[in-house]
Amino acid sequence: MVTSRYDRQLKVEQIGTKGQARFEKASVLVIGVGGIGSFVASELVKAGIGTITLVDYDKVEFTNLHRQNLYTEADVENGLEKLIAIGRHLRAANSTVKIIEKSQKFSGALLDEVNYDLVIDCVDNFPTKYQINEECFKRNIPHIFATCGANQGQVMFMQSQENACLECLYPKQDIAKLGLSANIGNNPMIVAITGSLEASMALKFLTRPETVNPENLMVIDNWNFDFRKVHVHRRAKCPLHGGLKS
């Protein structure tokens, strides 16, 4: 008797055969396959998401290896682009998932090529995060934001134009004061935790979208073992919401 590779997750009540069927029909865009993105891509592929499109343009470097779980020293020595390296590793893990690699910077045009069920922001710079937020907002495409630095990670699901967005959470004019764009290093475990939490949120949304709260920012500190939720309100002065009727 052959046991399904998904046997253990099929036994989870909230997933089951119906959830697995939804996974296999889903199309997800993952932007950035570095620290957070390599964990997200790995977990989604192993879970059996039908089609995953990966966007990145960097090469694998030695400084990536302590926190980016799918890359190896051989990838660095061979001068491989992250997309080539991660594509090989992911296909070796699950050959049934359709993996599409796009070696480029993010642009809104990507969102017009395919009817994505979900966009996952795994990039490491806030200018691109704001761009992803704006382009998803315009098209009313659900997306998940995540960031991490030092020992802290943050994750938030953003569903539609009716809900709080990244500009509501972190107004652009305040981002420098908050220090979120600074390179303060990464505890490798917070990268893994943040990526796994983002992947968990993606799987929950793809299985039961009605159960995901779009206005909760999850904040994790893995040094002090602190986990909290912060409710984010739609900001009255948000430039994206400004053109919409309340």
Can you spell out the DSSP letters for 71-89?
A: --HHHHHTT-BHHHHHHHH
- The type of residue at 208 is R
- Helix, strand, coil distribution of the chain in percent, nearest 5: 40, 20, 40
Residue 1 has pLDDT above 60, yes or no: no
* Domains of the chain in sequence order: 21-243 (3.40.50.720)
Q: What angle do CA 82, 46, 209 make, to 5 degrees?
A: 105
- Cα–Cα distance between 202 and 79 in angstroms, integer? 31
Q: What pLDDT is stored for residue 179 in this prediction?
A: 61
* pLDDT tens, position by position, 19-61: 999 999 999 999 999 999 999 999 999 999 999 999 999 999 9
Q: What pLDDT is stored for residue 172 in this prediction?
A: 86
* pLDDT tens, position by position, 180-216: 666 778 899 999 999 999 999 999 999 999 999 898 9
Q: What pLDDT is stored for residue 182 in this prediction?
A: 64
Averaged confidence pLDDT in the chain = 92
Structure-block tokens of residue 29: 């865009």
Return the higher-pLDDT residue of 183 and 127: 127
Q: Taking residues 121-132, report their average pLDDT.
A: 95
Q: What order do you get walking across the sheet with 118-121 strand by strand?
A: 98-103, 51-56, 27-31, 118-121, 143-149, 152-158, 216-221, 226-231
Confidence at 243, pLDDT banded by 50, 70, 90: low
* 37 touches 122 (CB < 8 A): yes
* Residue 95: DSSP 8-state: T
